[in-house]
């Protein structure tokens, strides 16, 4: 089997958790080093090197670095706009660092969001996004359909006065599969994506659209998500935007026998929400990477 998408044994789940934590460590460590005047391209190149040093030889998608208004995915946002630009970091900018490394075949996808300086809009947006960690998990455990859950998240973000810009992500996704890839003797890329992973996503998605399979790897508001939750690992990523400010989080949700739980109890955004609730700063702390 080239791609495993469900029925993960406990030791494999432990590996996914370890690699997710390592990916968050890399993102937060880089966030702590950011300086005014650095460009998205500079930071993205540095992230690639950090991940390579940690043993990553491929990415589902290359690291995404967004500064300022680009964090809100403004206007007609096309996939090419996710690639890093020459835009430089300024005081007060919102920041999103997002990477989907493949560690020894384990695909994880992580996002770290903060503000480079104080910005009350970003602080309130982050606090708003915190509710979906409980809401999404509860909705799965209540047996609600993926499509319904995605619609509810988008509606709640709009009700808070923001735009649900995750619908501008490829596949308009609230979430997507995390998978375990078999070892193959070579890697190839398709439009910036890992070739094996993207080919599997496209094939499964097309089968679902044709009604030949009900297991689309995408979780969105479309007809292929109009089903009760499928078991497996799901990378959930609610993303809000408002004017020049955007914020998001992303981590693995485990669904086993129709029951959902988060793979890790303490990802960085949970700590940030606690800091915001306590009226503390939530900028990244300098951390030492641990393999």
Tens digit of each residue's pLDDT (9 = 90 or more) over 123-172:
999 999 999 999 999 999 999 999 999 999 999 999 999 999 999 999 99
**Residue 288 resides in a domain:** no
pLDDT at 196 over 60: yes
Tell me how many domains the chain contains. Answer: 1
**Rounded to two decimals, what is the model's pTM?**
0.95
**Residue 287 resides in a domain:** no
Q: What is the pLDDT of residue 291?
A: 46
pLDDT band at 215; cut points 50, 70, 90: confident
What does pLDDT average to over the chain?
Answer: 94
d(CA 77, CA 95): 17
**Residue 284 resides in a domain:** no
Query: What pLDDT digit, counting tens, does each position of 236-291 carry?
Result: 999 999 999 999 999 999 999 999 999 999 999 999 999 999 999 998 976 444 44
Q: Give residues with Cβ within 8 angstroms of 50, minimum separation 6.
A: 26, 29, 30, 289
**Residue 51 resides in a domain:** yes
pLDDT band at 187; cut points 50, 70, 90: confident
Between the alpha carbon of residue 38 and those of residues 81, 133, 245, the distances in Å are 18, 32, 18
**Residue 151 resides in a domain:** yes
**Residue 156 resides in a domain:** yes
CATH number at residue 273: 3.90.230.10
Phi, psi dihedral angles at 37 (to 5 degrees): 95, -15
Structure tokens at 190: 């398709």
d(CA 54, CA 50): 6
Q: How many CB atoms lie within 10 A of CB 12?
A: 15
pLDDT band at 195; cut points 50, 70, 90: confident
Q: What is the residue range of 153's domain?
A: 3-277
**Residue 286 resides in a domain:** no
d(CA 81, CA 137): 31
**Residue 172 resides in a domain:** yes
- Contact of 207 with 137, CB cutoff 8 Å: no
């Amino acid at each position: 089997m080239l791609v495993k998408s469900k029925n993960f044994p406990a030791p494999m789940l432990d590996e996914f958790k370890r690699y997710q934590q390592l990916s968050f460590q890399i993102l937060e460590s880089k966030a702590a080093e950011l300086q005014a005047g650095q460009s998205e391209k500079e930071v993205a190149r540095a992230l690639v090197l950090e991940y390579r040093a940690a043993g990553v030889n491929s990415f589902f998608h290359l690291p995404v670095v967004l500064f300022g208004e680009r964090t809100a995915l403004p206007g007609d946002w096309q996939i090419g706009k996710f690639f890093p630009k020459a835009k430089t970091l300024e005081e007060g900018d919102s920041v999103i660092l997002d990477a989907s490394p493949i560690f020894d075949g384990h695909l994880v996808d992580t996002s770290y969001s903060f503000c480079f300086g104080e910005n009350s809009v970003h602080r309130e947006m982050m606090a708003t996004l915190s509710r979906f960690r409980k809401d999404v998990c509860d909705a799965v455990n209540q047996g609600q359909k993926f499509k319904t859950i995605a619609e509810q998240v988008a509606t709640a973000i709009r009700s808070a006065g923001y735009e649900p810009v995750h619908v501008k992500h490829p596949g308009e996704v609230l979430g997507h599969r995390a998978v375990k890839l078999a070892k193959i003797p070579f890697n190839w890329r398709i439009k910036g994506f890992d070739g094996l992973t993207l080919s599997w996503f496209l094939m499964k998605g097309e089968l679902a659209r044709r009604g030949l399979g009900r297991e689309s790897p995408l979780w969105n508001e479309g007809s292929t998500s109009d089903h009760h939750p499928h078991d497996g690992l799901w990378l959930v990523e609610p993303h809000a935007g408002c004017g020049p400010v955007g914020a998001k989080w992303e981590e693995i949700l485990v669904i086993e026998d129709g029951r959902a739980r988060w793979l890790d109890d303490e990802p960085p955004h949970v700590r940030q929400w606690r800091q915001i609730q306590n009226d503390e700063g939530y900028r990244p702390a300098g951390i030492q990477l641990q393999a």
